[in-house]
Each structure stands twice: as C-alpha cells, then as structure tokens.
Amino acid sequence: MSKAYFSAPRAGAAGLSPVHGDAGQSSGGASALAGLPRWDLSDLYDGPDSPQLATDLDQADEDAQAFARAWQGRLANVPGGELAQAIAEYQRIDEVLGRAGSYAQLLFAANTSDSDVARFAQSVNERLTAISTHLLFFTLEINRISDDGLSAQLSDPALAHWAPFLRDLRVFRPYQLSDEVEAVLHEKSVTGAAAWNRLFDETMASLRVRVGGEDTTLGNALDTMSSPDRTVREHAAHAIGDELGRNVKLFSLITNTLAKDKAIVDGLRHYPRPTSARNCANMVEDDVVDALVQAVTEAYPRLSHRYYALKAKWLGLEKLEYWDRNAPLTTQDEPLIPWTEATKQVMAAYEGFDPRMGTVAKQFFDHAWIDAPPVPGKASGAFAHPTVPSVHPYLLLNYRGRTRDVMTLAHELGHGVHQVLAGKQGYLMSSTPLTLAETASVFGEMLTFRALLDAQTDPARRRLMLAAKVEDMLNTVVRQIAFYRFEMLVHEERRRGELLPARIGEIWRQTQVESLGPAFNFTPDYDVYWTYIPHFIHSPFYVYAYAFGDCLVNALYGVFRSGHPGFQDKYLDMLKAGGTKRHRELLAPFGLDAADPGFWQKGLDVIAGFIDELERV
C-alpha cells in the first residue's frame, strides 16, 4: 500500500507514560463516567460482511489491474497533463484501499482480543497488499523519470498541482530498488513486519496483571502506578515487571526480528543509518533531528533532573523509585471529571482560540466519531485515525475521568481538526509528516491547559496543575528523546548480532538513568519495561516526532501569546496545507525556523520556565 493507513498512538497515552485511570474506581466514579460515546464505523462500512466492502475491493482490484495495463512503461514519455490524469486515477483507487484498510484497523483497535475481528483485519490487510501490488509500479516508475524530464512535464499547470506529491515521492529516489525487489518486499510484508506487529498487539491485549488481589489488564495496572498510595504503586510495579518478565523472551524475539528485518531492508536501500528512512518519511533533514536530540539531551539537567529532585523533596523522599515517577503530589483523590464537563472544557478552549476551529471540533461530539470507554479488549492509549478525506477521522480514547484524560481528549481532538482541515488537499497530499502531525494536537492541549490554568484561583491547585503539565511535557520531550536514544542503541547493536533480553534491559536502564537523573533509583525489575511500548514495534524512531512537535508548539505558542498579527488565520492556513508544504515554509509566516540552533531552545525554555515557577512556590 502506498500510504500508511494506520496511525500511531500519542506519547502520553499509549504506554509511553502511564495515564491516570479508574482501577478500583468506586460505583460513584463509574456513575460519573456513564454515557461515554462509542464510535459508529458505518460511515466507512456497515460491518465485516458488508456487501459494499466486498464490492469495493473487487472493483479496486479490477481498476488497479486496468490502471497497470494503461500506464505501466509510459510515464516518462507522456505529456504533463496526461501524467496528472494518471495521478488522479491512482489517488482514486488508493483511497478506496485506504477506506477498507481504515475500517479493518479501527474495528480491530476496538476489539483486539476478538479472534474473528483479528482474522478479518488480517484478511483485509492481505487483500489490500495483493491489490496494491498492481499499483506498485507507479511510484517506482515516476522516480525513474529524469529530473529534466519531470521538470518539463511540470510546466503543465495540471501536473503542477501534484508538485508536492512528486517532491515528497522523489525524496526516496536514491534508495529505490528494482521493481522486482520492491514487489517482493511489498508482498512479503504481510508475513513479515505486519505479522510480528499483530503478534505483539494480541499478546499485549492478553496480558493480565494481578493487582489488589484481582487480575486486570496491563493498561489498568499501569494506571495504578499513579495511585497516591506508595505501597499500591510499588506492588503494581513489581506485578507488571513480573508479567512482562514472563514474556520478555517473546518480546525480545519480536524486537530482534524486526530490527534485523529493518537492517536488511535499510542495507539493500543503502540508507546511511537506522533513522534515515524515518527522517525521509518525515521530510526532515538529519541535521535538524540531530540538533533537536542534542538540545534535549544537553537540557536533561535543567529539566528532568531538576524537576524530579523537586518532586522527591515534595514527596519527602531521599530517592524516587521508578514507580514514583507518576505519583500524584497530593494524597487527596482527584475528583472525576464527567465526559460532559471534559467536552465543555475542551470546546471552550478551542472556540476561545477561534470559532472556526470550534466549529470543526464540534462535529466530533455531534457525531459518533469518538470511542471513549476503557473496556476490555480495546487497544490501550489513544489515537486519531484520519481514515480518508471522503469520510472523516475517528478518535480512540480510554477516558477515565482524570485531568490528564481531558488533556488527552484535547490532544486527539487537535489531530482530528487538523485531519479534517487538511483533507481538502486530497488523499495523497493531506497527510503531514510525523514532525508536523503533532502540531495541532499539542497546540490544542496547550490551549486547554492555559484556559484551565488561567481560570484557577487556588494557589495549591495551580501548583498541582503546573507540576502535572511539567510532567506531561517531560514525558513528551525528555522521555521521548530517551526512547529515541534507546532505539538508536538497540538498532545499531543489532546490526552486529542478536541482543539477549538482559542486554536490551541494560540499554533501557542506561537511557533512563541518563534522562531521569540522580533523583531516581532503578531496581532490576524495571529493565523489562521497554517491552510494552508499542512505538518500538509499530513505528521505529517515531518517538522523536513528539519532542519535535512539543518544542515546535511551545515556540509557536510563544508567538501567539506575543500578539503576533493575524496568528489565527496563519495557523489555520498551516493546518489546511496538510502535506503540501515543508516545515520551513509552514513556520516562516510566524518568523520561526527549525533549522536555527536557537529554535529548540525556545521550546525547552518554556518547560524550564514552568519549573522555575514551581521552584519559587
């Protein structure tokens, strides 16, 4: 398939940092969270046995074969207008495949433990791979057109419309293999990486952890590590470690296999380093990513090290254990926030920024586009799936009524708004690179947080809100760069041979000690905690995009707060651009440049400023 149909979960919600939740929730709490919305996927298809789904796949198969007969071997020699017609037809067929793939993925996300749904999702994935094999020649052949030849074709205004698609496609030109090899890699993907991904997902969904005398899901157990009771946190932490430890050989096998598979493909394509493919996909230069990673790692002492030293003092501890990282700063139970109240808070922030953005956001609540309850068998965390422009995005949450869950709603809603606005660019040009995909989500989260903070008059509550925000930002920036460093070390070392579980654990502990600092003590059972992070399996090196997006938004929000003229119009135009512009073009109207060494410091200074304020309290 030429386009990624599946979206990865967000940093603070999908295992990268445990979210607050309702393990052991009282009946009153359950009542407060009654009526959480479930999504209705019938806007895509009526069900797995939908006649329309079968018809769409059959027609797409027929159209893809006809497309290949009509265009294969001709692309370099046709006028620009004819190539534009071919791209439009390619987009039409690909969007049909995207619709079917989106439906299968969303159905599976809500029912990961249902074997019938898993089998359906796998069968759809296999069918899509088979159909899209007929289309595979198209992008490969375009990349074989000479620069001069394509330039001549682009003189036709009809093809000039597709210039962003062609620009991004040709980023991969130096790494393209022969058609035969590309076809083999494409067809084998369903029995390669995709199969290992499925094994990981189904295994994770089946794990049960004994907490408080009851067996619970891994997600709920992780949530318990946010309990105000330190003994509860410790018992949950050890129980999680035990369960992950029992499965560590399997997770190590999955990780080693996928890392080796990636190394083989990277070697065939002559990518210079493990992250090169991701950087190309993100349309970001290696030196920009390197500058981000360097800026964040150098800032560890003034950010995470300093904050967690403060937290240890607030908790009255000489040392924090790893299960204290998400400990609340108050022993009082946080009141549960009903879904209706969460909706009001988030919508008020969005509408307060710009009514046009509020209008788009409101659609998600007016229609069944959100799946919110944390039910057994559902994928953990949260994500926004754009599906296809001819339908609409869907949001998956696991809403447990905490403040952080409200922030997660604001975050995923930002993705949804971005995806709706960018949908006007069409299926091939609506998706943004990962480095920009977090812009609207983090900005929406910041809008919501600032609105709630500004409305808070209680100094003690304000301090708690600031501390929670700092922790979320550290999870999004510092923790994600530490994850990136972990992946780099694992993938680089895997090229020299298979890594034993103990060695992967050593690398994990090394990167955690570096990033979290001397305030923490890490016991050996923490060495298996790398196993539950889905990004390492599904989307290698995805994680730095969270730090990229958070720092970018911090800088962007600073421009907004400074009263930059016409900010709202420029911001909405940026979202509407989808994937048609690169980060330099998008940030230029705000006077920002991610290639500027000082750019990342602007974002990190926002976090440091919050910590400064907490130190003064």
Residue 112 pLDDT greater than 80, yes or no: yes
As given in the structure block, the two tokens for residue 170 are: 């040709």
Chain-wide mean pLDDT for the chain?
Answer: 91
Secondary structure letter of residue 543 according to DSSP: T
- Residue 326 confidence (pLDDT): 92
Locate the DSSP E strands across 497-597.
520-521
**41-195 is a CATH 1.20.140.70 domain:** yes
Residue 63 pLDDT greater than 60, yes or no: yes
As given in the structure block, the two tokens for residue 223 are: 């949530």
Q: Find the range with the poorest average confidence among 19-33, 317-331, 410-424.
A: 19-33
CA distances 434 to 178, 280, 385, 438, 464, Å, are 27, 11, 13, 7, 31
CA atoms within 13 A on the CB side of 180: 0
> Per-residue pLDDT averaged across 595-615, rounded?
89
> Per-residue pLDDT averaged across 62-78, rounded?
97
**Pairwise CA distance, residues 553 & 504, whole Å:** 33
Given this chain, do its domains 1-33+208-617 and 41-195 carry the same CATH topology?
A: no
- Residue 29 confidence (pLDDT): 54
**Pairwise CA distance, residues 426 & 316, whole Å:** 55
Which is it for strands 208-211 and 214-217: parallel, antiparallel or unpaired?
antiparallel
Residue whose token pair is 């603070």: 12
- Residue 189 confidence (pLDDT): 85
Domain boundaries along the sequence of the chain? 1-33+208-617, 41-195
- Residue 31 confidence (pLDDT): 58
- Residue 12 confidence (pLDDT): 35
381 within 8 A of 13, measured Cβ to Cβ: yes
Give pLDDT tens digits for 155-184: 999 999 999 999 999 999 898 888 888 889
Give pLDDT tens digits for 241-283: 999 999 999 999 999 999 999 999 999 999 999 999 999 988 8
As given in the structure block, the two tokens for residue 160 are: 């000039």
Residue 23 pLDDT greater than 60, yes or no: no
- Residue 4 confidence (pLDDT): 36
Secondary structure letter of residue 521 according to DSSP: E
Number of Cβ within a 10 Å radius of residue 617: 12
C-alpha gyration radius of the chain: 24
Helix intervals (H) in 275-424: 276-281, 286-299, 306-314, 339-353, 355-366, 403-422
Q: How confident is the model at residue 329 (pLDDT cuts 50, 70, 90)?
A: confident
How many residues are listed for the chain in this entry?
617
Residue 20 pLDDT greater than 60, yes or no: no
Helix intervals (H) in 161-229: 163-169, 179-188, 193-206, 218-224
More confident residue, 557 or 20: 557
Q: What is the CATH number of domain 1-33+208-617?
A: 1.10.1370.30
> Per-residue pLDDT averaged across 600-616, rounded?
91
